[in-house]
Amino acid sequence: MVMKRSRVLALLVAGVFCVAVMSLYRMLELMQGAELQQPGGTPAGQMDEDLSHLQQKIDRLERLLSDNNRLVAMLRDSLVHRKASWETGGRGANGSSDSAHSQADTMSGCQLAEAMKDGTDGVQLLDVYDLLPFDNPNGGAWKQGFEIRYHGNEWDEQPLELFLVPHSHNDPGWLKTFDSYYQDQTKHILNNMVVKLSEDHRRKMIWAEISYFSKWWNDIDEQKREMVKRLVGAGQLELVTGGWVMADEANSHYFALLDQLIEGHQWIQKHLGVKPSSGWAVDPFGHSPSMTYLLKGAGLSNMVIQRVHYAIKKHFARQQTLEFLWRQNWDSSPSSDITCHMMPFYSYDVPHTCGPNPAVCCQFDFHRLPGGRVFCPWRIPPQPITEQNIQERALLLLDQYRQKSRLFRSPVLLVSLGDDFRYVESSEWDAQFNNYQKLFDYFDQHPELHIKARFGTLSDYFQALHRRLNAAGTTLPTLRGDFFTYADRDDHYWSGYFTSRPFYKRLDRTLEATLRATEILFSLTLAEMRRFRGDSHPVAGFPSHEHFKRLTAGRRNLALFQHHDAVTGTARDPVVVDYGTRLFHSILNLRQVLQSSAHWLLLQDKSQYHHDQSAPFLHMDDVIPAQDALPQKMSLVLSDEPRSLIIFNPTEQLQTSVISIVVDSPDARVVDAETGRPTAVQISAVWAEPTRASTEAFQLSFVAELPPLSLVVYHVTKAPAGSTHRARYTFHRRGNQPTVHTKHFQVSQPQGPETDAPLSLSNRHVQIWSSSETGLLQRLRLQSSLARQVQVQFLWYGTRTGVNQDKSGAYLFLPEEEGAQPYSSSEAPLVRVSRGPIFSDITSCFRHFTHTVRLYHLDGHAGRSLEISNMVDVRSEVNRELVMRLVTDVANGNRFYSDLNGFQMQQRRTLAKLPLQANFYPMSSSSFLQDSTSRLSLLSAQSQAVASLRPGELEVVLDRRLQQDDNRGLGQGVTDNKLTGSLFHLLLEDRSGVAQEVGGASVENLSLLAHLTSLSLCHPPVTMVAPSDSRLPKLRPFHPLRSSLPCDIHLLNLRTLEDAQEAESPSQEVALLLHRKGFDCSSAPEPLPPCTWSAHEEVNLDDLFSPLQFRSVRQSGLTLLREDDEPESARQQQLPHITRLRPMEINAYRVEID
């Protein structure tokens, strides 16, 4: 038996080797054939051209060989793995050698992620949700809590140690724009801060938003800056979190969350020379462990959170677990732990922070002294502290402190003193600091009260806390999970903002993708220029300084939009326009950097480079007319002279992508400019109206093979009439057949019995069936014969209609009792089916949305998923929300999975004891349903709310239009809706070797195929067009990498750092950010992608990025602060640069590219 197996092994290896060699020969043959077809050049230019072609051929061969080596290595790994399992007689524990075993063997890398998932210690938030009744009894003074009792002698041994932390919460845009708030309030707060803290060394203050702080810093003189540095150095002023904004944690993608953290930390390091150690997130509407992972990776060790469901707060307060070590779901080690303090009460304002009774605490907010603009709603005003009342006042306050202290495990107490935009006037500084100082002095003079109280920062508090915990030998409990969905009172769940203003949520991701693509290409361009020149300078005439400024502005505008009133869709209309304008301008400016970088990289003769801002060499293939408009494709004028198309692949993977452009001719030819080989094309109609095709514009689609991070050149020319494959169309409409206007396309309308037959499309991997009446998907079958019902439905949610009932608004989702109602329209939808060699699709035109499901006819894994796109317009509606629901026969029970910030998956449980709106969760890029044999993943290019209200169902909210305010301070509804696009991919996969899970909060990852699909969905190829001039300089493609990165290693960014000597200029140092994704073992990708993966944690950076070379590589913290760099001794000057990268982890390196 063993003999037989080793013979099979030998044959298999030999077979693979033969196939590899044959494929290499075939490639060379094709390359030569393509060259023979090309017309010869002039004798003078022939030599150069031949050499250039030879060089390109060698480069290509090297790439092929490299890919081949990786394939062989991967097979070898897999065979060694399998041999080992055979030799140990290892047919798994149950003795069956099923396909799951062999599948897990090929999927060696996922075993690493599996090994990390065995941590079950500590508190799992999902279990807490199962446990709690979610009733809401009146708790007395602390309405959402309970009565707190103490004897009075609890502090005799260890006195209460109180830190009062002054803060001012400054929203970078909400009711006013960022600039208006700055002019009206923020600059006065910061100016007064310098004066008032300098008056008394006992005074303290914390500040979070670096967007404001940096703007103010630019406005102040050197003398004031020195005073600020003194205050920071003395520990009187502490910068907390250090992000550009206090970011939303539900809708933000982890790229942008980290980028705004880098931007803030780099600014602090440069101007103040310090590094934040504590996080402060008191206003985001729910909290994500992805954020804590980034904070820990950026060197923070403590954090404070506030907006958590009131029932969770009450439970944690009873258990004394309001302070805990927050650990990642997937991590069994404490390496990701961060100490977290959860505020126990309703809000971060003064009435809800000194203790459980807001009526008492409000009396100690001295900004509300009688005669001012702000008062206490409990009708008992504060009193100035005098000799006459100090005893009574001090004891009243002490009682609140003591009650609050009983909710925690240590005698150290954190109390904040502040609110939104506090400390604007100097009189408020005096009122708060002077009155509290009198109280603190009184406590000091009465040691029998056993309290030591003082102003403090978060660092002061956490140092004292850790000191006390260590002395007492107390360890904090560990906790896993997230804090969504938030409710602040009653059944008021904040699940509305997961979708509010979806147009801008989509624009946010467009900017993110544009920024990442531009960062990478700009960094590669500068490195290539240094190599070309042989020194450390960019090429003369290349505006690297101006481009770096554009990049910085792009980073900062994306960062600003991660604010918890921006990407959330919870700001006033004029503020939303201000944000949108910033996003829009940054996209345009970054495109200039991208075009200019690509221009230089593509030129065969670099001396021909000339930068002209007013007439750039390259143009995008689309134009965005305004901040609130969708992009429109430019029509390309074709002739016999080839037009050059330049495609940039911003991903680290070889992509087989369908590129679509608009041209002025129904016949066109596309050839790969490097090889001269023609590529398959399809011409489709551009529909000016649902039944009227344009006669001037046509969509040209072709399949492009795009190596990782490459710029590839294609030539497009006009072709002889009738020579190009055109899409064929069928129109369906129940009742009255439409009249179709088209000159260039074959159109048919179903006759007789075929009018009722389901519509069907298929490619090599998948077949779909849709309703002939609506065009909406009904069923899906894979080549493996796995079939699933997948019905697409559209529904409306309304809002509550009772006279005194609260209604949905920007924040809250408060639907009617009866839930969602099926979408119905008076007239039957128009259904348009298109069939072609590159793609086929079914489009359903309803009054409020146009829905398209598309199949690509691609051999590789790119053809495995369905593309679903919606164009939604709800501007005619009143108090309605539109959802797209998938109804399937996947037996997932009450469990489904949604992502947290695109970084990790989180199990969700739909609970009947919770109201409908509580079972909606944020989804920024993916969610899935699964049972023991299948998984259905929905991947998205934008964030929105998701729910699985019944087994087999998955629904996403597409847009919401709400006429009223929901009483959370915004003062308006959401009525600025736009024509809004949303884009998804739907992926059905077999699962094997998994028992149906019972109980437990299982940790799951996306499959490898879902990761790769999500990557191409979120980072599509960038198409640029060169001028039609025949005197065009010679272009040659740019291939920086020899082969794809491993499938599970994502190049998160390649971000040029600022020069330490020359402000606002690029340095030679680049931040290399790599994320190793954990992937699921139960479904092996079919067909196998062209990338490899490894079972080892060690990664060789030189191999990964060959032929790029790193002069130096230095691992750092996630925000690239110098003090987080690994020490000089550990720095790797020698080759190879080997690093350890575990699944799920992000690593950051400071590199210099040779």
Q: Could you list the active site residues? A: 283
**In terms of Cα–Cα distance, which of 908, 903, 956, 664 is closest to 797?**
956
N-to-C CA span, the chain: 53
For the record, the structure tokens of 93 come out as 């524990």
Residue 1095 · residue 1015 · CB < 8 Å: no
Cross-strand bridge partners of residue 417 = 166
For the record, the structure tokens of 164 come out as 């009062």
Taken in order 435, 437, 438, 439, the sign of the CA dihedral is: positive
**CA-CA distance, 101 to 115, in Å (whole number)?**
16
**CA-CA distance, 836 to 665, in Å (whole number)?**
17
Cross-strand bridge partners of residue 369 = none
Q: From residue 890, how far is each of 285, 853, 887, 920, 1089 by CA, in Å?
A: 32, 20, 9, 19, 26
**CA-CA distance, 597 to 1152, in Å (whole number)?**
19
Residue 797 · residue 884 · CB < 8 Å: no
Cross-strand bridge partners of residue 946 = 921, 956
**CA-CA distance, 468 to 447, in Å (whole number)?**
19
State how far Cα 856 lies from the chain centre: 26
In one letter, which amino acid is 745? F
Taken in order 393, 280, 430, 228, the sign of the CA dihedral is: positive
DSSP state of 111: H
180 burial via Cβ count (<10 Å: 0-12, 13-18, 19+): middle
| Region at 840 (left for phi over 0; alpha for psi -120 to 50; beta for the rest) | beta
Phi, then psi, of 275 in degrees rounded to 5: -140, 130
Cross-strand bridge partners of residue 657 = 704
List all residues 6 or more positions away from 579 whose beta carbon is below 8 Å from its beta carbon: 173, 504, 560, 561, 566, 571
Taken in order 63, 64, 69, 71, the sign of the CA dihedral is: positive
List all residues 6 or more positions away from 582 whose beta carbon is below 8 Å from its beta carbon: 557, 560, 561
State how far Cα 346 lies from the chain centre: 29
**CA-CA distance, 958 to 793, in Å (whole number)?**
12
Residue-wise over 853-863: b if at least 16 C-beta within 10 A, else e?
Answer: bbbbbbebbbb
- Beta-strand runs (E) in 178-218: 205-207
| 989: three-class secondary structure by DSSP | strand
Query: Which helix (H) or strand (E) covers residue 1147, if one does?
Result: strand 1146-1153
List all residues 6 or more positions away from 125 whose beta carbon is below 8 Å from its beta carbon: 312, 479, 480, 481, 482, 483
Q: How many other CB atoms are found less than 10 A from the CB of residue 390?
A: 16
Q: How many other CB atoms are found less than 10 A from the CB of residue 836?
A: 18
**In terms of Cα–Cα distance, which of 604, 600, 601, 599 is closest to 41?**
604
- DSSP letters spanning 354-385: SSS-HHHHGGG-GGG-TTSS---TTS------
